[in-house]
């Protein structure tokens, strides 16, 4: 059995200069934020059988564990600096650890986000990452910043991750290739860090969040925090390429109330439409305008022809 010390040394300590003043191996990591910058901090905990299946591929799990945290930085418009990893493992399995750390570091390196410290212990599999980023004061894309008249935008596409889950649960029959493609989307989300940075740079956008529990529930957080309402053009929602081959009813359901999308939902003044499209091009991320922020409280749905739709949907609650 690997000792805790050797486990960290073998799989998580890297012999390369990092941004941190002091990394893994002391009581604390030391990090100096750029002068004048604000620190953005987020923490996510992933639990077996809740956020991922038992026996999940460790490489993908390493990727996703960090991706969901980077997605929170993206939603704030922050530049990733570093993260801590706390890991409870039933056993110190070298195969699992090698895969997990490979997936984790591949994504971390892509975003220049350094593992600076953490903790390992024996226990039911649990992965807790806390991520740190920085941004210029006043540039954060906050949930309470939506204004009446703002457009509502979505990055990338929605619903393929939820469709993959439907496949796993045998709710929906899917050809193998379709399921594999949708499952990739579920297991390997791409955090929209570059888009978040571009949107926060001017800033171009007002409010933003990342869609993790379904668009309707998550957009509801923006509406509540900003004390506004909205209308969504349901058929303008960008369905994932696999979902787009399913029925209109399923497309509406999984784009509106899916989960695990890790796309950004953001609002921006209509005057910034060109700037939003430019931010999308600059970051290599599709952006789609899907609705409008309104003074009237509540969330309304309309179809492609503008007719009101009566849909009963809600977000995902981890304790429901």
Residue ranges at the known binding site for substrate: 51, 260, 316
Nearer to a second copy, 284 or 319 (CB): 319
Please, which of residues 141-170 interact with a second copy by CB under 8 A?
Answer: 142-144
Residue stretches of the annotated binding site: 27, 42-44, 51, 72, 118-119, 143, 210, 212-213, 260, 316
| In the complex, least distance from residue 256 CB atom to a second copy, rounded to whole angstroms | 19
Rg (CA), the chain: 20
- How many angstroms separate the CA atoms of 116 and 100, rounded? 17
Determine if 296 is a binding residue for a second copy (CB under 8 A): no
| In the complex, least distance from residue 224 CB atom to a second copy, rounded to whole angstroms | 10
Nearer to a second copy, 144 or 296 (CB): 144
34 φ, ψ to 5°?
-60, 145
Nearer to a second copy, 123 or 241 (CB): 123
Determine if 215 is a binding residue for a second copy (CB under 8 A): no
- How many angstroms separate the CA atoms of 89 and 135, rounded? 34
Binding residue for a second copy (CB under 8 A) from 41, 106, 270, 295? 41
- How many angstroms separate the CA atoms of 240 and 221, rounded? 23
Determine if 122 is a binding residue for a second copy (CB under 8 A): yes
Residue stretches of the annotated binding site for ATP: 118-119, 143, 212
The residue range among 25-33, 159-167, 242-250, 302-310 that interacts with a second copy, by the rule CB under 8 A, is 25-33
Determine if 1 is a binding residue for a second copy (CB under 8 A): yes
- How many angstroms separate the CA atoms of 300 and 315, rounded? 15
Surface-to-core class of residue 5, CB atoms within 10 Å of its CB (0-12 exposed, 13-18 middle, 19+ buried): exposed
Please list, in sequence order, all residues whose beta carbon lies within 8 angstroms of the beta carbon of residue 97, skipping any fewer than 6 positions away: 7, 10, 11, 58, 89
Binding residue for a second copy (CB under 8 A) from 59, 73, 166, 174? 73
Q: Classify the C-alpha dihedral 147-262-315-311 as positive or negative.
A: positive
DSSP 8-state assignment for residue 145: G
Determine if 9 is a binding residue for a second copy (CB under 8 A): no
Determine if 211 is a binding residue for a second copy (CB under 8 A): no
Determine if 106 is a binding residue for a second copy (CB under 8 A): no
Binding residue for a second copy (CB under 8 A) from 128, 183, 194, 276? 128
Surface-to-core class of residue 222, CB atoms within 10 Å of its CB (0-12 exposed, 13-18 middle, 19+ buried): buried
From residue 218, alpha-carbon distances to 21, 114, 209, 212, 266 in Å are 37, 29, 7, 7, 11
- With b for 16 or more beta-carbon neighbours within 10 A and e for fewer, the 232-242 pattern comes to bbbbbbbbbeb
How distant is the alpha carbon of residue 279 from its chain centre? 18
Provide the pairing of β-strand 287-294 with 151-155.
antiparallel
Binding residue for a second copy (CB under 8 A) from 14, 47, 98, 201? 47
Name which of 240, 294, 302 is nearest 267 in CA terms.
294
Binding residue for a second copy (CB under 8 A) from 101, 120, 255, 283? 120
Nearer to a second copy, 140 or 279 (CB): 140
The residue range among 47-55, 175-183, 228-236, 253-261 that interacts with a second copy, by the rule CB under 8 A, is 47-55
What stretch of H or E contains 81? strand 79-89
Please, which of residues 80-99 interact with a second copy by CB under 8 A?
Answer: 82, 84-88, 92
Residue stretches of the annotated binding site for Mg(2+): 27, 42-44, 72, 119, 210, 213
Nearer to a second copy, 116 or 219 (CB): 116
Nearer to a second copy, 33 or 175 (CB): 33
């Amino acid at each position: 059995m690997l000792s805790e010390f050797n486990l960290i040394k073998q799989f998580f300590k890297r012999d390369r200069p990092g941004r941190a003043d002091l990394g893994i191996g002391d009581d604390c990591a030391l990090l100096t934020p750029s002068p004048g910058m604000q620190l953005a901090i987020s923490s996510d905990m992933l639990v077996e059988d809740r956020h991922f299946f038992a026996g999940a591929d460790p490489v993908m799990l390493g990727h996703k564990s960090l991706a969901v945290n980077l997605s929170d930085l993206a939603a704030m418009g922050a530049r990733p600096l570093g993260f801590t990893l706390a890991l409870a493992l039933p056993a110190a399995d070298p195969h699992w650890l090698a895969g997990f750390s490979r997936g984790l570091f591949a994504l971390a390196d892509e975003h220049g986000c350094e593992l600076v410290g953490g903790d390992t212990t024996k226990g039911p599999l649990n992965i807790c990452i806390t991520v740190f980023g920085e941004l210029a004061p006043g540039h954060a894309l906050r949930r309470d910043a939506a204004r009446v008249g703002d457009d509502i935008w979505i990055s990338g596409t929605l619903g393929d991750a939820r469709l993959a889950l439907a496949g796993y649960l045998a709710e929906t029959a899917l050809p193998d290739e379709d399921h594999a493609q949708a499952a990739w989307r579920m297991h390997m989300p791409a955090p929209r860090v570059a888009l978040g940075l571009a949107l926060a740079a001017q800033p171009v956008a007002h409010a933003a969040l990342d869609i993790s529990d379904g668009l309707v529930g998550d957009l509801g957080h923006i509406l509540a925090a900003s004390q506004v309402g909205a209308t969504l053009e349901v058929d303008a929602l960008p369905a994932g390429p696999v979902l787009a081959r399913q029925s209109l009813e399923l497309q509406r359901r999984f784009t509106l109330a899916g989960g695990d999308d890790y796309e950004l939902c953001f609002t921006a003044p209509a005057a910034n439409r060109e700037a939003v499209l430019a931010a999308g091009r600059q970051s290599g991320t599709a952006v789609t305008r899907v609705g409008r922020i309104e003074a009237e409280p509540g969330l309304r749905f309309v179809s492609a022809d503008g007719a009101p739709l009566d849909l009963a949907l809600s977000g995902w609650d981890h304790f429901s």
